[in-house]
Structure 1
Amino acid sequence: MRIFICCLLALLALPAAAQLTETFADGNFTQNPAWTGDAAGFEINAQLQLQTNGPATTGTVQQLATASTAANGATWEFYANLKLATSSGNYADVWLLSEQADLKGAGNRGYFVRLGGTPDEVSLFRKDATGSPVYVVNGRDQSLSSTTNNLARVRVTRSLADGWTLEVDYTGTGQSYQLEGIGEDNTYLQSSYLGVIVTYSSSNNRSFLFDDFKVTDRQAPGLVRAMPTAARQLDVVFDEAVSETQAAGSYQLSGGPAIISATRDAQNQNVVHLTLAADLPTGANTLVIRTVADVFGNVLTGPFNLSFTNSGFAISPGVNQLLITEILADETPVIGLPASEYLEIYNPTANILNLGGIRLLKPGSNSNPAIFPATATLLPGEYAVVCGSTRAEQFAGTGKVFGVSNFPSLSNGGDQLVLRAPAGQTLFEIRYSDTWYKDAEKKEGGWALEMIDTANPCGGIENWTASTDPSGGTPGRANAVRTANTDSRPPALQRALALSATSVRLYFSEKLDSVAASNSALYTIAGNTITRVAAVSPDFRVVELTLGTALQPSQPVTMSVQRATDCVGNATGAAATATVALPSVAVSGDVVVNEILFNPRTGGYDFVELLNRSAKYINLQGWQIGNEKPDGSVDAASISSEAYVLAPGQLVALTERPDVVQAQYPTSSEPAAFLELADLPTFPDDAGIVTLYDRTGAPLERVPYSAKQHLAILDDVNGVSLERIRAAGSNEAGNFHSAAGSVGYATPGRRNSQLQEDPTGTKLFSLEPEVFTPDADGQQDFTTLNYTLDQTGYAASVTIYDAQGRPVRKLVRNQTLATSGFVQWDGLTDQGRKAGVGVYVLHIELFRPIGGDKREYKRTVVVGARF
């Protein structure tokens, strides 16, 4: 929102200055002014109107454009008649501001009036370089309801404060204008062209008529502010583009040094740079301005006095010198704050910050960034609210407010936000989550997240919490939760990853000092050289290295980091090392499902843990994990669009919300082993099938699961995962068991609580352990009958008897066996009850259908209990 100096009230009314008038009275559109584009698709008819005459082909798009630089403080008028029934395939766009002569260009930007379309309306839109057009003023639906004669004389006015007004006279006479709506948008401040573009079906190639184009600038330029930018440099900001030719004599400092030059900015034509003969005095100053014209010749005659204070000139912020310190992502229910999403920014430095051109954006989104206006500044220690341009008035009592176009929509559950300098440098980055509230009630809405210590800008969840202010937040002032919360931990090297034979990425536990991290002298790699180092934006948790010699597949080498410094200056002591290798091609069985949580606790999320049980380094990029449905179809999701390499024996836990899973299993999860998925398939709570596919779509893994596999003595299996017992074992139900209660019933990213190493030796049948305690504490919860057979073709039946010879459990019935494997007994009877403490006998019947060979064996096991 622009700030206007009170002296502007003294401006005299100026006559309207028409910048473009086109009535086609000369019978052509090729001169005075010249229109260019699809000239063959238009003609001047007998009534001296511009009429379409393009190919009679459905889907045809025709355009004409002419030069027009009016962008602010202007009025656009034109006549149109659409002699057809408007629809999604029959409409006209009249561009008021366009960057390109090619109105159809995908990257064109500006504003246009649409007549027709699906709503059969007249509306004002903004078009960005990417994405669909967005409404500035949404006109009334069905206002163009005729099937043969839709008259509309349109008038659009843009004030110097970026307020838009859309009026339409549906009689076409210009005597009966109706207000269609108002809006506010300051995204584009310059224009090069005006034009028309039509889309039609085959029968409507001659159904569009246009006339009486007129663009009028009614106002002389107004003053916005004077802003010192250096000891002898002063910028004057106007509310519209001024003429390129500037005279130093038009500007004078009362009682101050002489002004020796005045130059219009090459990019922002609203700004004039003044060069002074001596240093600008500190304190109060007055600039006298006279005879300054806009680009259309409207003159600010003056003299006008513009007062300003030189308390130091504004400088561009560096990294972490402009902070986001408060976030309201969920504005409902209203606790006491305005019902609007907002951010709070803060200047922690001793300098005035120039925010002009700084961009606020969400990385990865298709939306355009919000851009701070050229006049925006932030004083030392000052806070300001940032919100959507139409919401600024709601925060009028909070202090400084920046209402910006394209304010990003803030997701309630979490988002990534970045402040970026005009040249592209990342100034501040944050990836918040609703777990940062640390309060189940407040995260439901109406409360803001607040930074605890502004001297710890990279602290993440440890340095953010829900506001304690009774209103729900503290927009525009110091945070209610403000206190010292120093970060004293150095960053840790978590893993190294080979992106290619000559490119390696290092991943750290927190944000790094991007300059220090780019020092190549800090890194070594065994038997190789490093030719380039770059910290990866926007969060700088990753450093990318370019190697001089190519790595070989699955041949590990050691990577060393001598010193790593986080963004607040904490540095590691001893060197950190990591192993890295170029990945090899995976085959079925290399990577297996090691653990699955399909029935999470309330508020929890599913996860699937994968294990690389091969000797290879395997890249999961492009792989998919899926849920196979009963009809055979698969609901699949991408695991990673970027390289993610599993080393031999390495685990990775896949989930949509690592933060939630880690919070629910704080002592039995490994944060470094989590990989966040945007959309993990939903796995049914009763039974399902987990599938895994490589980047070519080839199936690698298929694991059926069921809630019946859980230990029957558990009263509640919600939040209990199924763990693989033996890494090298099969995917059969007998190789999975409920995670132990002693570890919280799940171990995402960590060694399975029920993991059992494969037995050694050549004994035909053996029990491990021979004494077990089935109490779900993770200590000998079950026993396994292990076998190694002398040949194939055997089947087996196993029955368990108690000490009195009574059958307790029919464990196996006529089951075909592999040459080696195991059978699990969880200590339960056939009735699902826990077997009593005592000695039990496993009666094993082994037979071969071919040949009739039959053998019998007995093994003894003890069911115990802990006291």
Structure 2
Amino acid sequence: MKKWITLFLTASLLCLSRHTMAQTYDFSDRKIPDNWYGQKEHFEISSPGMLHLNAPSGATSSFLSWGIPSYTNYLWECYIKYDFAASSTNYALFYLLSQQQDPGSTINKAYYLKVGGEAGNTDKVELYYRDGTAVTKILESSTGLAGADPLSLRIRLSKSAGGIWTLYADASGGHNFIKNSSGTHVSKEPFFYSAIRCNYSSTRKDKFFIGDIQITQPFAFGNNTFEDGQTLRIAFNKKILDTDIPIASPDLTIPFTTAVTDSILVLHFSTSVPAGMYTIHFNRLYSTDLDTLSDNTLTVEKKALYYTGQIRITELMADPVPSYGLPETEFIELMNTSVAPLNLASYTIQDPTITCKLLPYILQPDSCLILCPKDGCSLYKKNNCMELPCFPGLNNDADSIRLFADDTLLTDAFYYALKTLPSDYRKNGGYSIVRSFMPEECIIDYSTRFSNTSSGGTPGMKEAIPPYTTVTFETQFISDNSFMLTSNITGVLQDTACTLPSAILSINLINKGIQPKWMIQMADSIKSGTALHGMIHSVKTCTGRLKQIEKDIVLIHPAMPLKGDVLINEILYNPYSGGVDFIELYNTTSAYIQLCSSHLYHRDAAGKLQHTLLADPLIIKPFSHLALTSDTSILFSDYPNSDRMNCVHLNLFPSLPDEGGTLMFASAKDTMDVIPYGDVLQNSLSRNTEGTSLEKINTNTSAFSSSNWTSSASGATPGYVNSQVYSSNADAAKPLRCDPCHVTTNLNGQNDFVLLQLTTHENQSFGSLSIYSLTGEKVSELCTNQLLANENTFQWNGQRAGKMLLPAGIYIAVAEWWLPDGRKYECKTPVSTSEY
């Protein structure tokens, strides 16, 4: 018996809810309502209760409109019948919300449905927003929904308070509505009318039928919020009928109880709900008007009580003297970027040496607060100011400030260093340092700049800061099958959110702090020296929100260098005034190589030794250059064409004296290269070597030869291929060969020398290499009775002995070499010289 009563009550409620409408026009009285406006004479009421267009000859458009109530949520429904197939000249417009009585007014602002309007049977139902003559499409139905001939269509459209529009339809004209499309659009304009407008040709002026017009405020969800970790408060737009409320959620498995007060439903969970997004289904919930929910599914978000980015450090004054208008005292500015008021009593702020607890203060959303030392607030004359008995000492040059909630959760970090900021008068003090960008919640970014305000800053005032939403990842291999993934976003990384070259065995978060790090172990080993690609699809952020990323990551498993793999390729030891030295390395292999734990040694003419350890991970790509220097910003200023991706700052860069010295590069196990450098290696025709680097000619030759070094033709080439690099096109079968074989003496950076390659194919041979004129005169000796290697490189700059230029013409290079067993060899090749 109880079961039958329940079924009867449910059926009765459902029936009643369909008739509790704010506006219902079924035309059962066979009259057009008296309070309607427009061209009533163009319409009539036909049987059975349908609004029928019966326009006079010569008319092409007719409308009716009526006043509507103002709601935050709307639900429209109507039946439309065409005794024809809709076309570009024959279709109806249903103005859901209109500011003007005449929907066609050129100044009207309105939302309207267009039913049909295309040739053929592909007609759709489309929702538009019109602002004067500007029109925006919000949604469109599936193709052909309004394409039938004749057309019998029932439409339902809902609008939420948040501007979500949802179209439902029954293509047979019945009440079996199926969701068809949705879109989002918000307008804060007031609307006063609804309207119907028919556009037609002469043969269709009596073929439109419209009926069952219903406009109501549906029973709908309002705002929802977690008041604490266990209590969810859901507001509705109408009072709730306090009966049994069956609720189901596949995501929320924690037991809960419900309580109803007027239009508020409270769910109290037995334990704290983890941060995340949850979907809740309400199977039977009624308002006191006996309405049912137009959409019975609600998505709620449980944010973390504290999370990264909830409060941001937006500005600070490290050096307040001299003052340009602000008090001569340090300050730190905080901003609440969340949507809820926050009590600062649970927060602490710290620098590397001191931790200071904040005082009780309710910081409202989108509001700022000044933190300053004792007696500082009176100087700013602002109410949004907090004096701290303990205040972090802000170093003038550089510092790191961190904000924690509950002493454990990092909310924000602010790092500044004067050397990274513009070199102008603001470096002398009196100007605050501000964020360059406002990171999205859960993202850390350290970009800073000086304030541009003439007074030196804007403490306590909200400033417009560009948003920052970019998520970054860096990888570092720890073993052949595991690597460290470092990111600027805090949250949870799941194996299903990653695509890697090998199956994932485990992902462990090992650092939740200022830079989150995950240790990822794969099933298969990766060959050292190689680079593979992977993809991070998403991260569950610190607020529990799933953030789609689709970010490509490069997994570089570098090899350790062997002898001959990485060589010194370019040296700048006599920079421009105010400039910096640099040392460029070149990877001669096809493998990625790890330079961490390598060493740079320098010995000057007096025997003083300097040592620099490359302690941080530093990878050099295959067949690539890497310039090391003490200040990349100065290097880029002096040499704008530098390859910035291949230039690296070293804190302990060795000082290279202008008079030269000996430079050595070593791995952890072996000496890689030794170069005695100085002006003796520069082009002898160069009058000034300041700002001119020494470049290696044949980059792949490991044995030092003075002939294999020369002056850069473009000043210097940090991070990219040398201006004087050797690229051989010579016949490798000839023992003595030249490439290039012509030298010009005008120092234009092109063909400044002849490069001679001598291959002896023997060890322990001795030899000589000379240049002769065509008359047989010896004009230059490049080497005499010198111990030779298997491969030897020499250069000739077109000069005779004594550094005098030779006349333009053809000369002969003659190589002679002999072995200890008495064998002797000779080989010749022509070379030439000219001024241009």
TM-score range, shorter-chain basis?
Answer: 0.5 to 0.7
In 1: Cα distance, 2:666 partner to 2:525 partner: 26
Q: Which shows bigger deviation, 566-575 or 336-345?
A: 566-575
Q: Does 1:846 align with 2:821?
A: no
> What is the distance in 2 between the residues matched to 1:808 and 1:341?
74
Mapped partners of 1:719, 1:572: distance in 2: 49
Partner of 1:505: 484
Asked whether 1:596 is paired with 2:567, we answer no
1:443, CA displacement in angstroms? 3.2
Shift of 1:499: 1.6
SS of alignment partner, residue 725 of structure 2: coil
Question: What are the equivalent positions in structure 2 for 1:333-732 lying under 5 Å apart?
Answer: 335-339=324-328, 342-361=331-350, 367-386=352-371, 400-403=385-388, 405=390, 407-410=392-395, 412=397, 414-434=398-418, 436-454=420-438, 464-478=448-462, 485=466, 496-506=475-485, 512-515=488-491, 518-532=493-507, 534=509, 538=513, 540=515, 544-549=518-523, 551=525, 554=528, 556=530, 558-563=532-537, 576=552, 578-581=554-557, 583-584=559-560, 586-614=561-589, 618-630=593-605, 632=607, 634-641=609-616, 643-646=617-620, 648-662=622-636, 664-671=638-645, 673-695=646-668, 699-711=671-683, 717-729=689-701, 730-732=703-705
**AA partner of residue 754 (structure 1):** Q
Equivalent residues of 2:540, 2:546 under 8 A apart: yes
Matches within 5 A, 1:258-273: none
Aligned-partner Cα distance in 1 for 2:383–2:637:
35
Please, which of 710, 717, 725 is the counterpart of residue 746 of structure 1? 717
| Count of equivalent residues | 536
Q: Deviations over 1:8-36 (max 9, x none)?
A: xxxxxxxxxxxxxxxxxxxxxxxxxxxxx
Larger radius of gyration: 2
Q: Tell me the SS of whatever aligns to 1:861.
A: strand
Structure 1's 499 and 863: CA in aligned 2 closer, same or farther, altered over 3 A? farther
Confirm or deny: 8 A CA contact 1:601 1:718 kept in the other structure: yes
Tell me, in whole angstroms, the C-alpha distance in 2 between the residues paired with 1:405 and 1:319.
23
8 Å CA contact retained: 1:384, 1:402: no
Q: 2:745 & 2:311 partners in 1: Cα distance?
A: 58
d(CA) in 2 for partners of 1:394, 1:711? 65
3-state DSSP class of the match of 2:427? helix
CA distance in structure 2 between the aligned counterparts of 1:784 and 1:369, rounded to whole angstroms: 63
Secondary structure at the counterpart of residue 491 of structure 2: helix
- Asked whether the equivalents of residues 498 and 645 of structure 1 are also in contact (C-alpha less than 8 Å), the reply is no
Which string of whole-angstrom CA distances, capped at 9 and with x for unpartnered residues, describes residues 516-569 of structure 1?
Answer: 7x24334333344342154966554x7544224363662636231154789999
- 2:738 maps to amino acid: L
Q: 1:820 Cα shift?
A: 1.0
Letter aligned with residue 557 of structure 2 = A
Residues 317-368 of structure 1 show CA distances to partners (whole Å, capped at 9, x for unaligned) of 5323333333444555555555555543333344333334544455xxxx43
Deviation of residue 396 (structure 1)? Answer: 6.3
Going from structure 1 to structure 2, the CA distance change for 1:396 and 1:838 (only over 3 Å counts) comes to: farther
The answer to whether the 8 A contact 2:575-2:691 is kept is yes
Secondary structure in 2 matching 1:661:
helix
Per-residue deviation, 1:610: 2.9
CA distance in 2, matches of 1:667, 1:530: 45
The DSSP-based 3-state class of the residue aligned with 1:690 is strand
The 2-side partners of 1:732 and 1:571 are apart by 57
Q: Tell me, what secondary structure is at the counterpart of 2:762?
A: coil
**Aligned 1:258-337 pairs, distance under 5 A:** 318-331=307-320, 335-337=324-326
Aligned to 1:170: none
Deviation track 1:429-482 (CA, whole Å, cap 9, x = no partner) reads 444443554344433444333334546797979x64433333333333355xx5
Do the aligned partners of 2:482 and 2:522 also contact (CA within 8 Å) in 1? no
Assess if the C-alpha contact under 8 Å between 1:846 and 1:856 holds in 2.
yes
Deviation at 1:647, TM superposition (A): 5.3
2:793 to 822, 838, 848: 822
Q: Classify 1:761/1:825 alpha carbon distance in 2 versus 1 (closer, same or farther; 3 Å).
A: same
Distance 2:491 2:763 in 1: 64
In the superposition, relative to structure 1, how do residues 450 and 861 fare at CA in structure 2: closer, same or farther (>3 Å)? farther
Of 396-405 and 591-600, more deviation after overlay is shown by 396-405
Q: Return the offset for 1:758.
A: 5.7
Decide whether aligned partners of structure 1 residues 423 and 858 sit closer, same or farther in structure 2, where only a CA change above 3 A counts.
same
Q: Distance in 2 between matches of 1:357 and 1:773?
A: 75
TM-aligned CA deviation for residue 609 of structure 1: 3.0
Deviations 1:602-628 (A, max 9, x none): 554433333343466544333332323
Amino acid at match of 2:828: Y
2:735 is aligned to 764
Tell me which amino acid in the other structure corresponds to 1:590: D
Q: Aligned to 1:702, what secondary structure does the other structure show?
A: strand
CA distance in 2, matches of 1:400, 1:459: 25
- Cα displacement string for residues 386-444 of structure 1 (whole angstroms, at most 9, x for unaligned residues): 456697776666952454636254352x5554434435333334444435543444334
Q: 1:811 to 1:513 in 2, by over 3 A?
A: same
Specify the SS of the correspondent of 1:442.
helix
The aligned amino acid for 1:370 is: T
1:139-168 deviation digits (Å, cap 9, x = unpaired): xxxxxxxxxxxxxxxxxxxxxxxxxxxxxx
**5+ residue gaps, structure 1:** 1-228, 234-277, 280-313
Alpha-carbon RMSD across the aligned residues, in angstroms, is 4.7
Cα distance between partner residues in 2 of 1:390 and 1:719: 53
Q: Provide closer, same or farther for how the CA distance between residues 503 and 780 of structure 1 changes in structure 2, counting only shifts above 3 A.
A: farther
1:792 aligned counterpart, secondary structure: coil
Supply the distance in 1 between the matched residues of 2:568 and 2:723 (Cα, whole angstroms). Answer: 15
Which amino acid letter does the alignment assign opposite residue 709 of structure 1? Answer: L
Distance 1:478 1:837 in 2: 75
Cα distance between partner residues in 2 of 1:383 and 1:827:
72
| Contact 2:742–2:753 (CA under 8 A) maintained in structure 1 | no
1:669 positional shift: 1.7
Quick one: distance in 2 between partners of 1:738 and 1:752?
A: 10
Question: Which residue of structure 2 aligns with residue 64 of structure 1?
Answer: none
Deviation for aligned residue 1:848: 3.0
Structure ranking higher in strand proportion = 2
Cα distance change, pair 469–722 in 1 and its aligned pair in 2 (3 A): same
CA distance in 2, matches of 1:492, 1:608: 29
Structure 1 residues 537 and 348, CA, compared in 2 at 3 Å: closer, same or farther? same
Judged with a 3 Å threshold, the aligned counterparts in structure 2 of structure 1 residues 557 and 326 are, in CA distance, closer, same or farther, namely closer
Could you tell me how far 1:687 is from its partner in structure 2?
0.9
1:95-150 CA-to-partner distances (Å, cap 9, x unmatched) read xxxxxxxxxxxxxxxxxxxxxxxxxxxxxxxxxxxxxxxxxxxxxxxxxxxxxxxx
Q: Alpha carbons of 1:455 and 1:639: their partners in 2 closer, same or farther (altered >3 Å)?
A: closer
- Structure 2 CA distance for aligned equivalents of residues 566 and 232 of structure 1: 21
Question: Does the 8 A contact of 1:709 with 1:737 survive in 2?
Answer: yes
TM-aligned CA distance change 1:464 to 1:625, over 3 Å: same
Q: CA deviation at 1:315?
A: 9.7
**2:762 is the alignment partner of 1:791:** yes
Letter in 1 for 2:570: E
Structure 1 pair 453–763 and aligned structure 2 pair: CA distance change class (3 A):
same
- Asked whether the equivalents of residues 619 and 644 of structure 1 are also in contact (C-alpha less than 8 Å), the reply is yes
Pairing of 1:2-151 with structure 2 (within 5 A): none
Q: Is the 8 A contact 1:782 1:825 kept in 2?
A: yes
